[in-house]
């Protein structure tokens, strides 16, 4: 089925149309501070299944439920440890998703049969306005086709879903740029399942301690989404560790009449005058903000995207490197 896809601002009219679609069981794309989400009524089996179908998302990769800041969490979660209450106070609304024991009230398809529920309270004013308007828990993964690069502008969402959804609520470019930190809050000590803008250090400073989940060989992952190929641009890719290596790959692609392009941090870009370079910036925050937009820019304009692994470490770089290497087909481990 094709339909006209409209990009609208978060005006009164835009919000009331979004509410109508959500109540009718349709999916609506909306802005958050991390990436754009593709949302549907979390109470409705049919609406939630629509999200999986639209994205081509594997049926065992659970969704995050988004609520506004005053939503009564006890409707969704069955109690919380004291560190979780402190973390909520410190970081919400914001780019932190917390995994709790579920009350089982939302559709069973949200968590793909797990007895836990991932909950997030996004901070972007556009997301808050949308969630307040619908006043329902909204199940939403990132608004990209499965495996493709996550969207950080309304246009990116349009490029993946034109003709497939009715409405994109435009809140501008996403300031954070990578997906939320996913934190398991079901144990004695909080455990990061997916790294993001809220770092281990930030969580440990509030909760006293924080673990980072590492999947053991052959073990089923705790956060199923981390097992999949992700964030992949739709052009050939190559991965290297120095400007010299990138120059050699660049020359080879040019000789074969291809159009190469190099994605790297500012420090490496400085050694690449005269080359087509996409500059990620020099800080972790800048790299997080630019990564997905530049991966999409790369796939648009080149035949081979050459990534040079950033050398910067610490803070949000863990989350950035995880996405960066996976976009190039690798699996970053610290
Ligand atoms: P996305 O919204 O596309 O960024 O993906 C959501 C991420 O949250 C995936 O990595 C999921 O595996 C993870 N997630 C969602 N619900 C749960 C849950 N109940 N337990 C563990 N991880 C979850
Ligand atoms: Mg995603």
pLDDT of amino acid 299? 95
For residue 226, tell me if it sits in a domain.
no
- Looking at per-residue confidence, does 215 or 10 come out higher? 10
Per-residue pLDDT for 332 more than 80? Answer: no
Best probe residue, ligand 1, of 34, 40, 143, 194 (max atoms within 8 Å of C-beta): 194
Q: What is the pLDDT of residues 198-248, one digit of tens each?
A: 999 999 999 999 999 987 777 777 776 665 567 889 999 999 999 999 999
The answer to whether the CB of 182 falls within 8 A of the CB of 97 is: yes
Considering the domain architecture, whether residues 41 and 172 belong to the same structural domain is answered as yes
Least confident of 120-124, 129-133, 270-274, 329-333: 329-333
What CATH number did the domain enclosing 249 receive?
3.40.50.11030
Least confident of 20-34, 81-95, 204-218, 281-295: 204-218
Which of 197, 212, 227 is the last residue before a domain boundary?
212
For residue 190, tell me if it sits in a domain.
yes
Q: What is the pLDDT of residues 103-131, one digit of tens each?
A: 999 999 999 999 999 999 999 999 999 99
For residue 223, tell me if it sits in a domain.
no
Buried b / exposed e over 21-57, threshold 16 CB at 10 Å, is bbeeebbbbbbbbbbbbbbbbbebeebbebbbebbeb
194: Cβ below 6 Å to ligand 1? yes
For residue 113, tell me if it sits in a domain.
yes
SS3 (DSSP) at 238: strand
Considering the domain architecture, whether residues 101 and 18 belong to the same structural domain is answered as yes
111: Cβ below 6 Å to ligand 1? yes
The answer to whether the CB of 56 falls within 8 A of the CB of 146 is: yes
The answer to whether the CB of 115 falls within 8 A of the CB of 79 is: no
For residue 228, tell me if it sits in a domain.
no
Considering the domain architecture, whether residues 141 and 49 belong to the same structural domain is answered as yes
224: Cβ below 6 Å to ligand 1? yes
pTM for this predicted structure: 0.95
Q: How far is CA 114 from CA 19, 41, 51, 192, 274, in A?
A: 28, 19, 18, 17, 52
Q: How many domains does the chain have?
A: 2
For residue 218, tell me if it sits in a domain.
no
Considering the domain architecture, whether residues 65 and 181 belong to the same structural domain is answered as yes
Say how many CA atoms lie within 13 Å of 54 toward its Cβ.
30
Distance CA 66, CA 40 (A): 10
Considering the domain architecture, whether residues 137 and 256 belong to the same structural domain is answered as no
Q: What is the pLDDT of residues 32-54, one digit of tens each?
A: 999 999 999 999 999 999 999 99
Considering the domain architecture, whether residues 206 and 270 belong to the same structural domain is answered as no
Considering the domain architecture, whether residues 27 and 153 belong to the same structural domain is answered as yes
Considering the domain architecture, whether residues 250 and 145 belong to the same structural domain is answered as no
pLDDT of amino acid 225? 62
pLDDT of amino acid 334? 41
Considering the domain architecture, whether residues 273 and 317 belong to the same structural domain is answered as yes
Q: How confident is the prediction for the chain on average, in pLDDT?
A: 95
Residue 180 is part of which domain span? 6-212
Which of 149, 180, 212 is the last residue before a domain boundary?
212
For residue 25, tell me if it sits in a domain.
yes
């Amino acid at each position: 089925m094709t339909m006209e896809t409209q990009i609208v601002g978060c005006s009164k009219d835009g919000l009331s149309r979004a509410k109508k679609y959500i109540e009718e069981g349709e999916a609506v794309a909306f802005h958050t501070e991390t990436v754009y989400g593709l949302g549907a009524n979390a109470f409705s089996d049919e609406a939630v299944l629509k999200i999986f179908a639209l994205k081509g998302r594997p049926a065992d990769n659970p969704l995050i439920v988004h609520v506004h800041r005053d939503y009564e969490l006890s409707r969704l979660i069955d109690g919380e440890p004291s560190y979780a209450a402190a973390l909520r106070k410190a970081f919400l609304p914001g780019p932190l998703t917390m995994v709790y024991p579920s009350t089982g009230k939302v559709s069973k398809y949200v968590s793909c049969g797990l007895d836990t529920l991932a909950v997030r309270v996004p901070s972007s004013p556009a997301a808050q306005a949308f969630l307040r308007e619908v006043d329902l828990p909204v199940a939403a993964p990132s608004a990209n086709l499965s495996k493709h690069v996550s969207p950080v502008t309304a246009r990116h969402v349009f490029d993946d879903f034109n003709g497939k959804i009715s409405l994109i609520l435009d809140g501008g470019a996403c300031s954070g740029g990578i997906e939320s930190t996913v934190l398991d809050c079901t144990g004695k000590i909080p455990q990061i399942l997916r790294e993001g803008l809220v770092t281990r250090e930030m969580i440990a400073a509030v909760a006293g301690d924080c673990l980072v989940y590492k999947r053991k060989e052959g073990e089923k992952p705790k956060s199923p989404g981390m097992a999949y190929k992700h964030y992949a641009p739709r052009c050939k890719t190559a991965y290297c560790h120095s400007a010299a290596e990138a120059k050699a790959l660049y020359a080879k692609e040019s000789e074969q009449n291809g159009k190469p392009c190099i994605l790297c941090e500012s420090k490496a870009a400085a050694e690449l005058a005269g080359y087509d370079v996409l500059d990620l910036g020099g800080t972790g925050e800048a790299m997080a903000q630019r990564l997905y937009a530049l991966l999409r820019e790369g796939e648009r304009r080149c035949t081979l995207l050459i990534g040079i692994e950033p050398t910067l470490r610490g803070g949000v770089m863990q989350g950035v490197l995880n996405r960066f290497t996976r976009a190039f087909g690798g699996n970053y481990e610290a």
